[in-house]
Chain A
Amino acid sequence: MKLWNQYRGLIAPVLVVALLAVWPMLTGKPANRESAFTILKAIALASSLNILLGYTGYVSFGHIVFYGFGGYVGIFLLSGMGWPLWASILAGGLASGLLAFLLGSAILRLRGGYFALATIGVNEAMRAFINKFDLFGGPTGITLNFSVYKAYGGAAQALQTSFYIGAALALLALAISYLVRTSKFGLGLLAIRENEDAAEVMGIAAPWAKTWAYVLSAIVPGMIGVLFFFKNGNVEPGDAFPLHASIELLVMVMLGGQGTVLGPILGAFAYQGMRGYLVTSPVFKDIQLSVSGALLLLIVLFIPAGAIGWLRQRVPLLRRVLA
């Protein structure tokens, strides 16, 4: 019973990810596997961003920098140094965590709009740097040779393996998110979100807590970056640091409900599911961007607290299971 009380908020998020992981197997359709991968990737990224945005209250417009940087490091090690995929993924995550630690020590002194602007600058600066960095291929990036996939049973099997690793990384992201949310450390972050000065007066070491929140929010994006570019066969600066993807992540977190574990998962699911449907729908595919924009506008206007926030406000009973 104690275990149930401790982890009941984890049930719904795990169920969503588990269903997504088995959906392609149940339907037997490879196209569903690709759609599910896009959603799982979004879940991992949005849940990671939520640690900073939802729990700590710091808006990062350039969070995608960790995805790109980790991806580049991992693909370089995989392609150039012959590292195995699992080690490259770990290295990508660690590299992003280290980058977040160094950046966080500097820019987390800023607050509000100043911090948000700095994160945009960091992303653009990193893209410009990678563009000139010959070791990572400069503007042409790194293209994987097909022989890389042979070690994983060929391209078809490599894509299948990538999907299951993607599901595992999504689970890892939500586990980190849940553990932070329910820990003393997480309470400290929530206090910083509400009033940073008051939190410091209460004894919370805000700079330390914020930096570690930033690091935790960067590790999984770095790992998922390696996996995505491995699956895609190449990485180049424009694809590794797309600023619009950061904005999309913010939308996903806010759509589902920032500051909750389940919110970013539902937000990512709804946003990517909607885009996936619209882009292939015979009716909407030519106007899909307009339709998705209009729908998002409606949602933000009418449900500013996000889906989970809205449900928690109106159905008190659900507060026990919707963490």
Chain B
Amino acid sequence: MSNNVSLYILLAPMLLSLVGLLPSRWANRNPALTGNLCHRAAVAALLVSILAAVLRQMLPDQAFSGRALELPFGATVFSIDVFYNSVTMMLMMLVSFVGMVVSRYSIRYLQGDPNQGRFFKWLSLTLASILSLIASGNLIMFMTAWVATSLCLHQLLMFYDNRPTAVLAAHKKFVASRIGDVCLIAAIVLIGSSLHTFEFSQIFHAMAARGDELPIALKLASFLVVLSAALKSAQFPLHGWLIQVIEAPTPVSALLHAGIVNAGAFLVIRMSPILSRSPAALGLLAAIGLATLALASLVMLTQTSIKVSLAWSTVAQMGFMLLECGLGLYSLAMLHLVAHSLYKAHAFLASGSGVDFFRAPQIAYSPSGFRPGRLLLSLGISAMMTSSIGHVFGLTPGQQPALLATSAIVAIAVSQLLLQAANMDRTPSFLLRALGISFLACTAYFALHDMFARLLQDSALPVHSTGAFQYAMAALVVIFFLFLLVLQHIFRNAKGRAWEATYVHLYNGLYVDVYITRMLQKFWPVPQTIQA
């Protein structure tokens, strides 16, 4: 039974890779057919994932995580098997859903492009690789799918290989990915040699049973995993490629931002049995995440083109997601991963609609500038709202500092909403509506968090100890968000040299990417004359 069910899940990537096996030339001659095949394979993958989720309700987890298919050669080294838990279930559905939407979109969007067939071929292969990555039951298969995803995506990023900027961005991504690969391979070797297994299920059990301090090899491995995740999720300072790969067609951006860039958090959650025992590695992850989100969320506000703003927004969101991972809040990170994917896929696909906001009636409103009293009032209201709704869902003051910090972030967000509303219209009927929306958003947040916490109960090993570091980190996060809130309101009317300098440095993303581009151009030059 278990073998059959596991095999059945692998149907999803297998169908897609069948489409990917079509030769490019044939595909280009039959773009409509290839597109339809790709779309149908993605729909089938979604159905498979949904059915698997339904089956799981009827069968215990263990039934899914057995070895499904051994290769005749070197069975102990490489096997194809499935590790199925809530994380697998949700991500399979997410990626096949996004794949379905993106493939459907590309049928019309790229119509007439001489390479449309080839596009669908690589789209199918990319989707197949991600689905295999998600389903992987062991580290070797995971690693293979990890690299395959990156290489297939590379083909999509190079879709317009006559554009120097596209090639440059793809090169940048390629370099970052290969560094990440090296880190991951080293981590896997260390884990395999320490725990004598590559199977996720066995790693999970082995670590759950261990009580002692981690051996140095696993400690090292956990740092390597953190680095690899940070590289995959475009964290500072190697974030530049994510900004620039909008040189590929819009659906590629949608897929990348919704289904690939978040693999960093997926890696961390899969490796949580080891990482949860390595507070230093998690601390590093949290620090990278916080630094990235701090920078990127500010840069995002200065950007002037819609896709570049969206890309910076993703960098920031990935930072936040990894921060949550680093704080041991795996269920929140998972919630963030899924919700962000859906939001960002839509944002990219709908990015052509930006002009409509400027065509809509521009209404008169009287912004009242920064009022400290109003800020405090809105913070007070939102804190009360958040804590009472949180209380209904079981949040108590004595809980993990990290959890309290994230609740504080929600409160700050709600007060931003209220402040914005008060800035637009100060009639009671309007403010009441804004309060109503805040209440709904707040409730949705805690309800979803509660749901994800239940779902992920058995999918990730929690962090045991809460040290001083966690308290410090949580405090830092809250302070930073308060700072953001105030900043947004005072910089509307800010003057002076310091503000000018801040603006210029932020607008240019702190120049990191200019330097990296220059270095890359030195070692891996892109011919400038290929543009037709």
Decide whether A and B are members of one complex. Answer: no
